[in-house]
Chains A and B, each alone.
Chain A
Amino acid sequence: MAINIKKLANEPELLASGHRACVGCTGTTILRQVLRASGPNTVVSFATGCMEVVTTIYPYTAWRVPYIHNAFENSAATISGVETAYRALLKKGKINKKINFIAFGGDGGTYDIGLQSLSGALERGHNFLYICYDNEAYMNTGIQRSGATPRGAATSTTPAGKVIPGKPQKRKDLTAIIAGHHIPYVAQASPHNFIDLMKKVQKALSIDGPAFMNVLMPCPRGWRFPEPEGIDIARHAVETCFWPLYEVENGVYKINYIPKKKEPLENWLKRQGRFKHLFTTQNRHIIDELQAEVDKDWEELKNRAGVE
């Protein structure tokens, strides 16, 4: 699937400026990339979270496509209702347009509280795309740990304490969990590689049935890095293989980008204040553990994709 960037760049912006995202937020960048790829015939459902809060402060809305926010844990269930209404009204001839359905949720709303509703909607086979914007913690409520927070990261509920240095547990592999639903399309993407991300959105929307994308969303407030660096931090995460770009299409794994030389994870961690406390003699072992986990996961992914 080819993307005509020139043409897409001239399409009207579907997420209006004037929203209230933080300086340096990569979330709204992701939203704009997704909407550029989906086009205007798209209905969006949103879980409670940063992107919901900053785009719809009544009486204003940044959304130029139909949008619904229901609650925190039910973005997928909500879009499943809208999509079912669409099929019902299509059948009755009350609607005749092709409409895309995209549900968004942050990592809190997807990895944690919304996992059940997402799993149910995927299993039921609704024709929709779910996009998780993964900033690896509950950023909207003040940087609390989630199931997506990496081991060792300092958050408000896993602070870098004298006894417990950040989050003790490994993050869960949500993309793999979703792939376990054997839906037609599952992918990981990053906003730094926007062509890859937009291609994946278009592919996901062209497929009949449920699709899922997990998109890394560096957060300057939560990860503690200078505001201009978000997109480069995302690129860097991909270079370390901490966030591989890959897709699972009808069960077939494909890695979309293989770094020529895997960047040491340490170099990526060093750029983020949330990992600062790991760079001490006492905590150094956590960096080694993280590196070992990334290496193991990367090898497993390569095996699944049949890459040497």
Chain B
Amino acid sequence: MAKNLLALTGNDAGAYAVKQVQPDVAAVFPITPQTELMHKVAEYVADGVIDTELITVESEHSAMSATVGAAAGGARTFTATAANGFALMWEIVYIASSLRLPIVMALINRALSAPINIHGDHSDSMGGRDTGWVQLYSEGAQEVYDNIIQAYRIAEHKDVLLPVMATFDGFIISHTTEIVDTLTDEVVRKFVGEYKPAYSLLDIDHPITVGPLDLYDWYFEHKRSQIEATKHAKRVILEVADEFYKLTGRRYGYFDDYRVDDAEAVIVVLGSAAGTTKCVVDKMRKDGKKVGVLKLRVFRPFPAEELADALKDVPVVGVLDRAVSFGGWGGPVFNELRSAMYNLERRPEVVNYYYGLGGRDINTEQIEETFNTLLEIAETGKVKERFGYIGLRE
């Protein structure tokens, strides 16, 4: 297959995908580190490269509100945000999924205030893990591009009709230039297809009421149907990934397990740190140490059975969380993953590390040290510390 390689930052890669999908409507509001993505989209619009209508809103709350209006009006939509912007739109984020609107949003991961911090961690998207959106995490610019394109197919599938957020680490991915293998506009447009919603506010001859008051006599059933939709999303994510593989040769699933099969210790991580961990795995494997990494791509819906199956023969699993669940029993990924393993015949030891908050760097030495701790647990069967920190001053 002829390659069309471009040097793009994560934000550029996201914008390039948006250019190729050419949504009908996109809402724009600035927040670091997301701004460059929407700058690029605005340039495509200003230069007439795409005919997307931009709504240059006055807040993220209105960004999501207008996107909801546009999606309910039958338009294919896009918006992007980060951290506090995501927090401000929170109310409507939940409404978007509950109204079953297939919105696609790029969430450029950034630490939530306070103290104010503009760098990457997962406190924003992890805080939104129960908002009913599908969440796809990306390791680098290539995945940003691929995930945004696939997001439209997942969101708009008739059995799903849920919004999808494609997330990637602020600065580490959003502002780093990488080589991205791109498709042609025509191929992308054919892949996402024409958007034909079953219902629209603009179908004036068939009036619908969107968002009625729904009390104890029906609300519960509507939540149940939403739960079913997230189950369908799980199936559709793989169907779309298969089609995407045939198109690109790039394989996607719920997660990517790397040298996990015979591993004695595995690190589970999502986002940019997965790449760093892979490097460490390769190095340690050369030294004869049996380590592996599992990079989680889909956090919502959570692929519990599949993860449990993938890790069932691993003696020790170290889960790296880049978001704190204050007062909780470990971080969000740890919590869910450990619960997913409860019914395994032989449960692995699972330990948890907080790392990279507020964009704190994580390096290969720290990951190697973490692997060595995990290997020590595998050897001794003793867990000295269930919860730890990587790269933190004590």
7 interchain residue pairs of minimum CB distance: A81-B69, A120-B58, A85-B73, A81-B66, A85-B75, A74-B65, A56-B212
Extra A-B contacts (8), CB below 8 Å, given A57-B215, A95-B202, A119-B58? A63-B207, A68-B72, A70-B211, A74-B62, A74-B65, A84-B55, A92-B51, A99-B202
Determine if B56 and A78 form an interchain contact, defined as CB atoms under 8 angstroms apart: no
B195–chain A nearest beta-carbon distance, Å: 10
Determine if B70 and A99 form an interchain contact, defined as CB atoms under 8 angstroms apart: no
Determine if A77 and B61 form an interchain contact, defined as CB atoms under 8 angstroms apart: yes
11 A-B residue pairings within 8 Å (CB atoms): A41-B204, A43-B73, A67-B209, A68-B72, A77-B61, A85-B25, A86-B202, A89-B73, A89-B202, A91-B53, A116-B62
Determine if A52 and B213 form an interchain contact, defined as CB atoms under 8 angstroms apart: yes
How many residues from B make CB contacts under 8 Å with A?
41
B66–chain A nearest beta-carbon distance, Å: 4
Q: Which A residues form the contact surface with B (CB < 8 A)?
A: 40-41, 43, 45, 52-53, 56-61, 63-71, 73-74, 77-89, 91-92, 94-95, 97, 99, 116-117, 119-121, 123-124
CB-CB contacts below 8 Å: B97-119 with A: none
Determine if A81 and B92 form an interchain contact, defined as CB atoms under 8 angstroms apart: no
Please report the C-alpha to C-alpha distance between residue A105 and residue B267 in the assembled complex, in whole angstroms: 52
A58–chain B nearest beta-carbon distance, Å: 4
A183–chain B nearest beta-carbon distance, Å: 15
Determine if B212 and A66 form an interchain contact, defined as CB atoms under 8 angstroms apart: no
Residue of A66, A73, A86, A87 with highest tally of chain B CB at under 10 A: A66
A-B contact count (CB 8 A): 163
Checking B59, B68, B214 against A81 with a beta-carbon cut-off of 8 angstroms, the contacting residue is B68
Please report the C-alpha to C-alpha distance between residue A86 and residue B201 in the assembled complex, in whole angstroms: 10
Determine if B210 and A68 form an interchain contact, defined as CB atoms under 8 angstroms apart: yes
B93–chain A nearest beta-carbon distance, Å: 11
B156–chain A nearest beta-carbon distance, Å: 15
Is B67 part of the contact surface with A, judged by Cβ < 8 Å? yes
Please report the C-alpha to C-alpha distance between residue A73 and residue B59 in the assembled complex, in whole angstroms: 12
CB-CB contacts below 8 Å: B24-53 with A: 24-25, 27, 51-53
Find the B residue at minimum CB distance from A95: B202
Contacts of B56 in A (CB 8 A): 124
Known contacts A56-B212, A68-B69, A79-B69; decide if A73 and B204 are in contact (CB<8 Å).
no
Provide the B69-98 mask, 1 if CB < 8 A to any CB of A, else 0. Answer: 111111100000000000000011001000
Known contacts A68-B72, A88-B53; decide if A81 and B27 are in contact (CB<8 Å).
yes
Determine if A81 and B202 form an interchain contact, defined as CB atoms under 8 angstroms apart: no
Known contacts A65-B207, A70-B65, A80-B66; decide if A88 and B52 are in contact (CB<8 Å).
yes
Residue of B67, B69, B210 with highest tally of chain A CB at under 10 A: B69
Find the B residue at minimum CB distance from A97: B204
Is B218 part of the contact surface with A, judged by Cβ < 8 Å? yes
Please report the C-alpha to C-alpha distance between residue A74 and residue B203 in the assembled complex, in whole angstroms: 22
Determine if B213 and A81 form an interchain contact, defined as CB atoms under 8 angstroms apart: no
Determine if B65 and A71 form an interchain contact, defined as CB atoms under 8 angstroms apart: yes
B64–chain A nearest beta-carbon distance, Å: 9
B212–chain A nearest beta-carbon distance, Å: 4
Contacts of B5 in A (CB 8 A): none
Checking A53, A61, A82, A94 against B72 with a beta-carbon cut-off of 8 angstroms, the contacting residue is A82
Is B208 part of the contact surface with A, judged by Cβ < 8 Å? yes
Determine if A86 and B91 form an interchain contact, defined as CB atoms under 8 angstroms apart: no
Known contacts A84-B25, A87-B53; decide if A66 and B208 are in contact (CB<8 Å).
yes
Known contacts A78-B66, A81-B65; decide if A71 and B92 are in contact (CB<8 Å).
yes
Determine if A58 and B213 form an interchain contact, defined as CB atoms under 8 angstroms apart: yes
Determine if A80 and B69 form an interchain contact, defined as CB atoms under 8 angstroms apart: yes
Determine if B75 and A89 form an interchain contact, defined as CB atoms under 8 angstroms apart: yes
Is B183 part of the contact surface with A, judged by Cβ < 8 Å? no
Is B57 part of the contact surface with A, judged by Cβ < 8 Å? yes
CB-CB contacts below 8 Å: B175-217 with A: 201-204, 207-215
Contacts of B92 in A (CB 8 A): 70-71, 74
Find the B residue at minimum CB distance from A42: B204
Determine if A84 and B58 form an interchain contact, defined as CB atoms under 8 angstroms apart: no
B207–chain A nearest beta-carbon distance, Å: 5
Please report the C-alpha to C-alpha distance between residue A53 and residue B212 in the assembled complex, in whole angstroms: 8
Determine if A89 and B55 form an interchain contact, defined as CB atoms under 8 angstroms apart: no
Checking A43, A82, A116 against B70 with a beta-carbon cut-off of 8 angstroms, the contacting residue is A82
Find the B residue at minimum CB distance from A62: B209
Please report the C-alpha to C-alpha distance between residue A202 and residue B207 in the assembled complex, in whole angstroms: 21
Contacts of A56 in B (CB 8 A): 209, 211-213
Contacts of B75 in A (CB 8 A): 84-85, 88-89
Contacts of B201 in A (CB 8 A): 43, 66-68, 82
Checking B57, B203, B211, B215 against A77 with a beta-carbon cut-off of 8 angstroms, the contacting residue is B57
Checking A71, A84, A116, A123 against B95 with a beta-carbon cut-off of 8 angstroms, the contacting residue is A71
B211–chain A nearest beta-carbon distance, Å: 4
Known contacts A82-B73, A89-B74, A120-B57; decide if A70 and B212 are in contact (CB<8 Å).
no
B68–chain A nearest beta-carbon distance, Å: 5
Determine if B202 and A82 form an interchain contact, defined as CB atoms under 8 angstroms apart: yes
Determine if B207 and A67 form an interchain contact, defined as CB atoms under 8 angstroms apart: yes
Known contacts A67-B207, A82-B73, A84-B55; decide if A92 and B24 are in contact (CB<8 Å).
yes
Contacts of B61 in A (CB 8 A): 73-74, 77, 117
Please report the C-alpha to C-alpha distance between residue A302 and residue B53 in the assembled complex, in whole angstroms: 42
Determine if B58 and A117 form an interchain contact, defined as CB atoms under 8 angstroms apart: yes
Determine if A70 and B53 form an interchain contact, defined as CB atoms under 8 angstroms apart: no
Known contacts A56-B212, A57-B213; decide if A88 and B25 are in contact (CB<8 Å).
yes
Contacts of A82 in B (CB 8 A): 69-70, 72-73, 201-202
Residue of B61, B214, B218 with highest tally of chain A CB at under 10 A: B61
Please report the C-alpha to C-alpha distance between residue A63 and residue B211 in the assembled complex, in whole angstroms: 12
CB-CB contacts below 8 Å: B235-292 with A: none
Contacts of B51 in A (CB 8 A): 88, 91-92
Please report the C-alpha to C-alpha distance between residue A123 and residue B73 in the assembled complex, in whole angstroms: 21
Find the A residue at minimum CB distance from B52: A88
Determine if A71 and B91 form an interchain contact, defined as CB atoms under 8 angstroms apart: yes
Residue of A45, A70, A71, A117 with highest tally of chain B CB at under 10 A: A70
Contacts of B68 in A (CB 8 A): 70, 78, 81
